[in-house]
Structure 1
């Protein structure tokens, strides 16, 4: 299997709690469910491992919380490499309310990196990527990170055989649109801001993917549409991937996007075509939202749900004629 490197520039130590019902007065007595290292790329690496693959998680780590993060990842057996920074890694927490079935993910901004730390991150990514077939950059970035950081990574890696998979937001995403990478995943919020309309169905998701592909920013694009599923698009066609009907009410979407990217990249690394990998990713996301807090799918659940994923293919030229 091809080697996968994930990058988490702004990781977390995620503590998950459960309460019967949140109240605004007095104390909310909680049951602690789990404490684990988190952040986009770390979660993606965890998903790859859950499916039987292997990934190296490259991440920043600072001070006391950073040491706790390293210890948690070591205890989990996750293959990871730390990039030392001078400020504390951030803490985050998830509160699951059993009465409503809703979860609330509280995430602070995180530490600000110095110029020297930013350069250290860039050097570490470029060095590690030399030995990998897939580079996944996922999750938020630290405040103050220069807006073209991810774009610079893409420029510096273009001449190599490493395929870049991105799940990023804000100015990092907007600057990457001037480059070309293998695959970009849009969530509904980022896609809506880019095309100036809500992503309320498959048609709007197709428009978001068209925007990416027409710019030449990516060879493959996938935009998620909540419980409906996602649209995966390449140069030739749009593929509307309908998510399986959930056997249980959803509980938390905290790691749904990371589950999609982790499962998708794993399937690409073992040789699946991109459409099949995206279908498997949609099933993984569907399996994850059934679980509380930052829990991720089981492989058995994904293998069951993927049989209920349905795809409709529309030629991009046909879709363009229908809109005109």
Structure 2
């Protein structure tokens, strides 16, 4: 039985193509690189599988493209279960320029879910999740899903011991902030909306984490800061995780966040303390951005990079806020003893 259940409310079939360079006139002759199932939770399950773990990917699926999504997951060997919906599963496109290294991710909104389909999804998730130690809800949601869907799901899961990890955005995130979960991950856009200023460094990321912890939204928070790395926080301290210097130029950040969450949750399920798991997640994200399109890391690359993650701990004061003054700082080496909860 896998330890991790992932939920993808709005999956995709990701087609990745390469061109020398995009032009605005004539035809862009492209080379097909990959066709694979995608969407936040599916990508997380793929990352867990890549690391040697097992996860069950619970996802919606509809019509011909939903059937193709199932076939792609079966061919990849990922354990999954489909929640049937009427609308077509969406298709997304990644165009990579080989001359510049730039990548363009084009993602449609997806088919609209009816109220009955939303309730069917809720029932299916709750029925499955109560048997798993970890539930990961990741990625965008389809049109028609009520704004408090994730919040209601968290409330229905309260009687169970399942640890909930959220990587969500927009109204779904705002509605869930007063329903405590185990861990919330913020990207820079969502964190900026919460604190009202750009997330341009570790201090701003600490402020976003303080905001979540102050609301009681989560026991653990992690906010990513692009190429700098991330800040992981609990009620005791902030831990600034500096990403390892990349051995190659970055190529695509399409699955960096999913890689972080997949690696982090895998390590938690393996028994690591949260700080150690977050360090591994930062290394996984760094390994993924070296690859084109929606490809995710190889484990050997993550294992090589994790020793280069540097952690600086800043102890939080009582009643810490976004303007808190750190009481003390200490450098911690990755090779030290177990740290964090």
The alignment's TM-score, normalised by the length of structure 2, stands at 0.93
Contact in 2 for aligned 1:61/1:82 (Cα 8 Å): yes
Q: Which residue of 2 aligns with 1:176?
A: 176
User: Any unmatched runs of 5+ in structure 1?
Assistant: none
Q: Which residue of 2 aligns with 1:234?
A: 234
Q: Which residue of 2 aligns with 1:37?
A: 37
Contact in 1 for aligned 2:2/2:54 (Cα 8 Å): no
Q: Which residue of 2 aligns with 1:245?
A: 245
Number of residue pairs matched?
323
Q: Which residue of 2 aligns with 1:134?
A: 134
CA distance in 2 between counterparts of 1:4 and 1:273 reads 16
Q: Which residue of 2 aligns with 1:260?
A: 260
Task: Flag as ranges the 4+ runs of structure 1 deviating above 4 A.
Answer: none
Alpha-carbon shift at residue 321 of structure 1 (Å): 2.5
Q: CA RMSD in A?
A: 1.2
CA deviation digits over 1:36-62, x for unaligned, max 9?
A: 000000000000000000000000000
CA distance in 2 between counterparts of 1:22 and 1:290 reads 21
The alignment's TM-score, normalised by the length of structure 1, stands at 0.98
CA deviation digits over 1:72-127, x for unaligned, max 9?
A: 00111100000000010000010000111011010000011011100110000001
SS at match of 1:308: coil
SS at match of 1:235: coil
User: Any unmatched runs of 5+ in structure 2?
Assistant: 328-341
CA distance in 2 between counterparts of 1:248 and 1:150 reads 38
CA deviation digits over 1:153-174, x for unaligned, max 9?
A: 1001112100000000000000
CA distance in 2 between counterparts of 1:178 and 1:159 reads 17
SS at match of 1:166: strand
CA distance in 1 between counterparts of 2:102 and 2:316 reads 38
Q: Which residue of 2 aligns with 1:14?
A: 14
CA distance in 2 between counterparts of 1:232 and 1:14 reads 30
Q: Which residue of 2 aligns with 1:270?
A: 270
Contact in 1 for aligned 2:231/2:240 (Cα 8 Å): yes
Q: Which residue of 2 aligns with 1:90?
A: 90
CA distance in 1 between counterparts of 2:77 and 2:54 reads 11
Contact in 1 for aligned 2:221/2:232 (Cα 8 Å): yes
CA distance in 2 between counterparts of 1:102 and 1:261 reads 24
CA distance in 2 between counterparts of 1:29 and 1:166 reads 39
Contact in 2 for aligned 1:187/1:224 (Cα 8 Å): yes
Contact in 1 for aligned 2:316/2:326 (Cα 8 Å): no
The reply on whether 1:321 has 2:325 as its aligned counterpart is yes
CA distance in 2 between counterparts of 1:70 and 1:322 reads 50
